[in-house]
Amino acid sequence: MFIVSRVGKKAVIGIGVWVLAVTPAVAQGIDARIIIDADQPGPRINPDVYGQFVEHLGRGVYEGIWVGEDSAIPNVRGIRSDVVAALRRIRVPVVRWPGGCFAERYHWRDGLGPRDRRPLGVNAARGNEPETNAFGSHEFMDFLEQIGAKAFLSVNVASGSPGEAQAWLRYLTGPATSGPGQERARNGHPQPYEIAFVGIGNETWGCGGNMTAEYYSDVYRRYVSVLGRYGTLVAADANSDDYAWTETLLKRALYRHAVATPLAYISRRPQISMMGLHFYTFAGNDWGKKSRATGFSETDWALSLERTSKMDELITRHAAILDRYDPEGRIGLSINEWGSWWAADENRPSNLYQVATLRDAVIAGLTLNIFQNHAERVRMANIAQMINVLQAMILTRGEKMIVTPTYHVFDLYQPHQGATRVPAHVSAPDYSHGDVELPSLSASASRHDLGTLTLSLVNLDPNRDVRVRADVHGFAAHEAAGRVVTAATMDAHPDFDAQDPLVPVALGGVVVQDGAVTFTAPAKSVLVIELGE
């Protein structure tokens, strides 16, 4: 339940038992208080919330992941080793592939067999880029094995068929004694692969078929009839705040027989395991007026964070519809695509490549906090995208590789993976700029089975530090250590030929005394503090 009440300039926002009280800002310096109820455990934060998205687009696959066995860039079976090492460090749990819009034109057999015999194609979904099909099913599964992640396959609905999708899953997962398994063995992998998630279409309201919700519901039912035994099925996303789509899909496709009312047939097993959702951040709410990736103004900063914060409302309202049709909480939300999308730079080296700045780190931290505070429904998310595209983890330039500020945030937030969410009640002044007024602090907290407590905090204010006192209930904190990502400018960013200015550093001045932790959150920063008993 999402509740907002405002008296004067004071707002109270509640998500379950998580509460945020906003008070007027003072002229110089900000004081804030956080109360962490460690003795009130909530749902587990699914590690899959830290999932990634890889699409055949720009240099996301070719150069970003695949360089070929004969490349001078160090690789294992054609997959570049520096990228694998970086991704293993942040424990990527799941990767969505091959798209995106590309998936709706992808035919999996084009990516099988000797690479010199695979058909050459054109990526009509993204600027008619050449597609060699050198990176196909086997290469993708090899990549996942190298980084230690699970597979999320997005099957072709717009130009494919249930039969083609079923054949792909049979090929990948069939026993070695089956016909598909024998073909897989001839292509180099006798043992069946494991496929964790199967997405039934991508943006079916747009590039995935221009479908209505009613029509897609019937299409989904067809695919379920032949794919029901293969992995966890993810229904195609609503278009951001299209709540009618979610309502229609649940009404028409949740169960094997059409359901007329929300509470009918509750005891039956749903045939939707997860529902997708896509949402991108730019400066404001106009797709045609995105800000620059660098050299942007504070107005762009504020509008971008205001847009990012809408993720909370989207999840809350889609989840409220789910609550009516699925009060038992069996269906999860999968945020299949999220992240920042800035105006195209005419000097960009490849399609949808963008420079990654401190603003992207703040967007990542704010979004992950929102996901974690909705852990009862949000069970997977896939940032767009992993390498060289949009809000990437990694950027490459030939043989060179750098990690981005977003990568650093995912690194800092690792202790949350698989931990139990606990309430973090925040009281802090607003950050105001122009027509934008937002809470200056975003927080999420979790408790790990190993006996540690983790607090992640984002200071959205680009100008003022925040002095924080965190009172911890139900956890005898005796020690604390923190790391922070921040910089002098809003658009600080790493470069291939310079030292990374955004590498996380130790947060100084963290004091634990009498069950409370005090510290200062620098302006425009993302930080994580780990507490030990």
Do residues 447 and 38 make contact, with C-beta atoms less than 8 angstroms apart? yes
Which residues lie below 8 Å from residue 275, measured CB to CB, with a gap of 6+? 234, 235, 237, 238, 246, 249, 318, 322, 331, 332, 333, 334
Residue of 104, 337, 346, 437 marked active site: 337
Cross-strand partners of 520: 467
CA distances from 475 to 37, 399, 451 (A): 8, 47, 9
Which residues lie below 8 Å from residue 382, measured CB to CB, with a gap of 6+? 51, 52, 53, 94, 95, 96, 152, 334, 335, 336, 337, 338
What is the crossing angle of helices 243-253 and 298-325, to 10°?
Answer: 20
Q: What share of the chain is helix, strand, coil (3-state, %, to 5)?
A: 25, 30, 45
Residue of 203, 214, 298, 530 marked active site: 203
Q: What are phi and psi of 322, to 5 degrees?
A: -60, -40
Question: Catalytic annotation on 183?
Answer: no
Burial 466-501 (b: 16+ CB within 10 A, else e): bebebbbeebebeebebbbbbbeebbbbbeeeeeeb
Question: Catalytic annotation on 203?
Answer: yes
CA distances from 49 to 154, 229, 323, 370, 471 (A): 17, 23, 20, 11, 27
Torsion from C-alpha of 489, 407, 388, 71, nearest 10 degrees: 130
Active site residues: 203, 337
